[in-house]
Chains A and B, each alone.
Chain A
Amino acid sequence: MGTERTDPLRVEREELPNGLTVVRQPPPAGASTFSATFVAPSGWSYDRAGLEGLARVTSDLLPSGAGKRSRVELARFLDSRGGSLGSHADPESVDVSVHGPSTEWEPLIRVLADAVLRPRFDPEDIARVKRQMHERQLRELSQPGERVEREFLREVFPVGHPYRLTGLGTSSALRRIGRPELRGFHSSHYVPEGAFLVVTTPRPLADVRRAGRRLFDDFAQEKAPPTPALPSVPTGPRAARSLAMEGNSQVEVRLGGASLARADARYPALFLANEILGGRSMLCRLFQRVRERHGLAYHASSDVQPMRWGGYWHAQAGTGPERAQKVVKLVRDEVRRMGEELVRPSELELIRESAIGEIPLEIETTSGAHQLALDVAYNALPDTYYLDWPVTLRSVSARALRDAAQQGLSAEGAVTVLAGPVPR
């Protein structure tokens, strides 16, 4: 790798006195934009009982008016600078991000600080976001792809587990969420301790540090909330679950279970195992077997969702009701093979070199490169993690891969959920 190629793969970081960690990543050569993200320990696993949905409503409201700007004023300001502001929540954390031309660094990073520290929670915005959230709750129940995801997580994780829910809450909980609850959650969960400011920019770390000290120093509280409890995940054989959803054309299939955390030493082997099973687009086994050999489905793939406290994996496919059981069987067979057989050296070599070769594609754009920096920062991976990624992957043996698959793509105890026009 040449110097240019390696640049976005190496991050620099520094912890500020208030506990906020600033992380800087160079952008891809030739890029004229920057991305900045504040990552807070404020995901929906921190929702209190009876207030499910609070974390996601809070997250949705951050870009909806902040500091002295109302939502419309903020939108117009961003348009005038060519910037965009958004937020994304998951069970563990919330990302608040700004993206725009590098020349607009100062005004846009200030907007990010306003969104993180000074959200307005205007009553009309709260009402709007709650209306939108309610519609998403209904979508989660009525759309087979979303319903199957919801039920899959409920099958895998026990009550009280942070990954069991999708964060949308319930309509009754939503009714209880008001400005005091939002302000309270924001004060206690948007804190510097355990938070990150990750910036992909040509500016030096010193500039990022200065921005961090100058603009992100006015938190209501500093201490991070305690990590939620992690009840143990049941293992052993599980019955398949079918959800009949009339009026749809296709059955959505999910099969999977609990998996490894992102920082687990076995993750690189698990990553490769998943790529072989269903992650490496047209070359993976599920695509080849389900679509290319048997022509049973348009999509068939698998994903691993590794997070800080653990993770889960699932294989997925969409197919007609008359083909659903055959697809389930093929998927199950392939999953079982991953944990039972050693992958042939040629297949391992092919997938591994493909994964290594794609690194330049991942850093084509600022926002693509930024995702790698977020991964490194949030999961406490080494600064040169992606620079070393080729060496790491080449050190994975077929045996290590099979062992990781047994742990992180386990057929034993995998749950199967179908949603759509399944035969009753």
Chain B
Amino acid sequence: MPQRSGRPTQRFALKNGLKVILAPEPKSLTASVWVWYRVGSKNEWRGVTGASHWVEHMLFQGSPKYGKGKLDRAVIEVGGTLNAFTDTDFTAYFITVPRQHLAVPLDIESDRMTRARIAPEEVERERTVIRSEREGNENWPEFRVDEELFELAFRRHPYHWDPLGFPEDIQRLTAVDLKSYYQRFYGTKNAVLVIAGGFDPAALRREVTRQFSPLPEGGDDPVVTTTEPEQRGERRSELTGPGTTPFLEIGWKAPSTSDARTPATLLVDVILGGEARLFSAGGVWGRSHEHPSSRLYRALVDTGLAVRASSEYRPKVHPSLFTVHARAAKGVPLARLEETIDSELARLGRTGPTPTEMNDARTKIRRGAAVAYEGATFTGFRLGYLSMLGGPGFESDLFHRVLTTKASQVKAEARELFQTDRRSLVTYEPTEVTGGN
């Protein structure tokens, strides 16, 4: 299973409900502090979409001990780095510093966990920044297609909207809305504090207790009760705009992290697209790389039909999507890509993976897992991310279940997953490119 090279990971909880994970690596020159809140766009509702992301921005805009600009300065002046990101299921903040400055991020995180200011004038100023972030993403057709796909596939569940929120909500949300959202969801009960790197775990445990124990118990992690009704019939959408060659993205309803089908679905992703996802070095996040031995690559890129082809299954807290993305080579119609993808998926459901493919997939997962933890920052990210998906034994349990999944289970999962009436499909046809060589 994925192994860290340092001392064993310690997990404990404070009386106010804050869960803490310490991952000591005595030789590390850095220390990375991550705070993961179980709040993301899944907790929003229509009219306040984008609130999780906006609150994330506001947590850099002032708290009692760190007025506007002081927080960044405190970290950066000691050579540290900091950032944050918001997803559908969580919001994460990290600060990595040279290890002798570990007190700085602890002080900051305990200060802003429940006492961020969210001043109206800063909310107003940040509105344009957030609009600008969204507009920057809209410049990429891939973002537009991804957003359209989730809007198409999810009609009731909050996965319907992107964590950036709808433009009209970005225009409408107020400081009062954001403060109320923050006060409801941010707090000790809804957070996991992860610290990785060079420190003495006993001393750090005392320090964490000293800093975070006085915080009042709070932070709501309400169960999202809205479930997406079963999809009965294919949904399609066509987009146009600036771009290179046509592409398409197809999404099928896929299991959540807690589903027994997850290990087999992860293997379907490895065999079709080549990414080991949760069990690769650095591959948890982001777009797929090229995997010439994967089925989609061989069927679409090798044959000259596409310039890129990938699959992606990033399990989430609630049932989400398994996606396939393919970009056509010049002159190849999207219908041809779709036909080929259908044929490949049907073949996997009909005959299952070959023994060689199963062996290769398991090897890739084992190998990736062996080097999955390197550096304090990535270790903190990985431990926190996995803690958002499941409990303490989640990683080892899933690893074991993936490796013991049989080819017949992968075949059955492919059949279950790739049903036409449970898929949504978005095509993108570029308008003429202006300018020349």
Query: Chain A residues in contact with chain B, CB under 8 A?
Result: 4-5, 28-33, 64, 71-72, 74-76, 79-82, 100-101, 124, 127-128, 131-132, 134-135, 137-139, 141-145, 147, 170-172, 243, 245-250, 252, 280-283, 288, 291-292, 294-299, 318-320, 323, 350, 353-361, 363-366, 368, 420
Contacts and interface: CB of A to CB of B under 8 A. Distances in A.
A320 B73 contact: no
Interface in B327-379: 327, 329-330, 360, 363-364, 367-368, 370-371, 374-378
Given A31-B374, A82-B370, A134-B330, A361 B242 contact: no
A354 B302 CA distance: 48
Nearest to B29: A360
B371 A358 contact: no
A252 B133 CA distance: 12
Interface in B375-430: 375-378, 430
B81 A361 contact: yes
A205 B99 CA distance: 30
A138 B77 contact: no
Given A72-B298, A299-B136, A319-B132, A283 B76 contact: yes
A30 B25 contact: yes
Contacts of B375: 28, 364-365, 368
B235 interface: no
Contact of A131 (B292, B329, B437): B329
Nearest to A151: B435
Interface residues of B, number: 77
Contacts of A5: 29
A288 B307 contact: no
Q: Which 8 A-B pairs have the closest CB atoms?
A: A357-B79, A82-B367, A29-B27, A364-B375, A295-B125, A138-B244, A360-B29, A282-B72
Nearest to B359: A80
B132 A318 contact: yes
A144 B139 contact: yes
Interface in B105-161: 124-136, 138-140
Interface of B: 5-6, 25, 27-30, 60, 68-69, 72-73, 76-82, 96-99, 101, 124-136, 138-140, 241-245, 281, 291-293, 298, 301-302, 304, 307-308, 327, 329-330, 360, 363-364, 367-368, 370-371, 374-378, 430-431, 433-437
Nearest to A79: B364
B435 to A, nearest CB: 5
Contacts of B126: 295
A167 to B, nearest CB: 13
A319 B368 CA distance: 39
Given A281-B76, A364-B376, A297 B132 contact: yes
B140 A72 contact: no
A296 B77 contact: no
Nearest to B276: A79
B6 A250 contact: no
Nearest to A291: B129
A366 B27 contact: no
Contacts of A358: 79-81, 98
B242 A247 contact: yes
A252 B292 CA distance: 34
A420 B99 CA distance: 43
